[in-house]
């Protein structure tokens, strides 16, 4: 039998993530995120499905006997820190929401001029010797989204931090609107929120019972 409460909980973080993607596209200026932040947001979006999938499959019964329902707090915290660790060790890159690859290239050139940095271009390959950075510009995701992704492992994290700041300072307001795309993401998030609320309403008595067990005093 389908567990509506668990499924509704799994959907909520994903719905919130889609809402954020929509709101980002409503901004008048492009949004720049580093790869670690982008990965971490996606990990948080998938947290609900991880909770009702792998985490529940390998649920620590012994810990539950000691901590009771509060063991879920420990598991969520563990997932949070593991996701952060993976994000911080992920491939260096920058994601620009609201820019296509050509616009991102122009923005990077503006940032290089701002920082008075010498760079070498080979089509969409960028190399900045003074920053220890070598990367390529790629199309990322759907819509107007582009990324600057590291090539090779020999990278200088401080160099990436510098170029991120220069690109952020060089971002200009969008000349074309992304309203239609933004509303598609927002509409999808609202559908998921509505679906989750409907499933919770159908199994509300059991949810109240679970919450009563969770918060009842010892």
Q: Which residue has the higher pLDDT, 37 or 70?
A: 37
**Rounded alpha-carbon distances, angstroms, from residue 37 to 14, 41, 43, 151:** 16, 6, 10, 19
| Mean pLDDT on 109-117 | 92
Q: What is the pLDDT of residue 48?
A: 85
Residue 113 lies in a domain: yes
Per-residue model confidence (pLDDT) at position 211:
59
Q: Is residue 32 part of a domain?
A: no
In this prediction, residues 25-43 reach a mean pLDDT of 91
Q: Percent of the chain having pLDDT more than 90?
A: 47
pLDDT band, very low/low/confident/very high, at 33 (cuts 50, 70, 90):
very high
* Whether pLDDT at 215 is above 60: no
Residue 154's pLDDT is 81
The pLDDT, as a whole number, for residue 22 is: 92
pLDDT of residue 207: 66
Query: Which has the minimum average pLDDT: 32-36, 60-64, 189-193?
Result: 60-64
Q: Say whether pLDDT at 189 is over 50.
A: yes
Structural domain containing residue 127: 93-171
Does residue 80 form part of some domain?
no
At residue 27 the predicted structure's pLDDT band, cuts being 50, 70 and 90, is confident
Q: What rounded mean pLDDT belongs to the chain?
A: 85
| 100-109, 161-170, 171-180: the lowest-pLDDT one | 171-180
> Could you tell me if residue 57 is inside a domain?
no
Is residue 46 predicted with pLDDT exceeding 70? yes
12 inside domain: no
Q: Residue 59: pLDDT above 90?
A: no
User: Is residue 153 included in any domain, yes or no?
Assistant: yes
Q: Is the pLDDT score of 1 beyond 50?
A: no
Q: What is the pTM of this model?
A: 0.81
- With respect to residue 13, please indicate whether it lies within any of the assigned structural domains: no
- Total domains in the chain come to 1
106 pLDDT above the threshold of 80: yes
Look at residue 110 and tell me if it is in a domain.
yes
For position 124, which CATH number holds?
A: 3.30.310
134-150 pLDDT, tens per residue?
999 999 877 889 999 99
């Amino acid at each position: 039998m389908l567990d509506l409460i668990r499924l509704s909980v799994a959907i909520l973080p994903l719905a919130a993530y889609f809402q954020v993607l929509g709101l980002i596209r409503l901004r008048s200026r492009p949004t720049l995120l580093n790869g670690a932040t982008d990965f971490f947001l996606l990990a948080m979006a998938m947290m609900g499905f991880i909770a009702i999938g792998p985490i529940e499959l390998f649920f620590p019964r012994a810990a539950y006997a000691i901590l009771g329902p509060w063991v879920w707090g420990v598991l969520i915290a563990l997932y949070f820190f593991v996701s952060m660790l993976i994000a911080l060790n992920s491939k260096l890159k920058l994601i620009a929401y609201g820019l296509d690859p050509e616009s991102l290239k122009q923005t990077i050139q503006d940032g290089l001029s701002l920082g008075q940095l010498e760079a070498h271009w080979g089509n969409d390959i960028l190399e900045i010797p003074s920053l220890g950075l070598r990367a390529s510009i790629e199309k990322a995701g759907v819509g107007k989204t582009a990324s600057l992704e590291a090539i090779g492992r020999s990278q200088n994290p401080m160099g990436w931090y510098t170029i991120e700041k220069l690109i952020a300072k060089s971002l200009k307001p969008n000349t074309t609107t992304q309203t239609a795309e933004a509303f598609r993401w927002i509409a999808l998030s609202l559908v998921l929120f509505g679906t989750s609320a409907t499933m919770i309403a159908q199994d509300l008595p059991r949810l109240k019972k679970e919450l009563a067990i969770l918060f009842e005093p010892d």
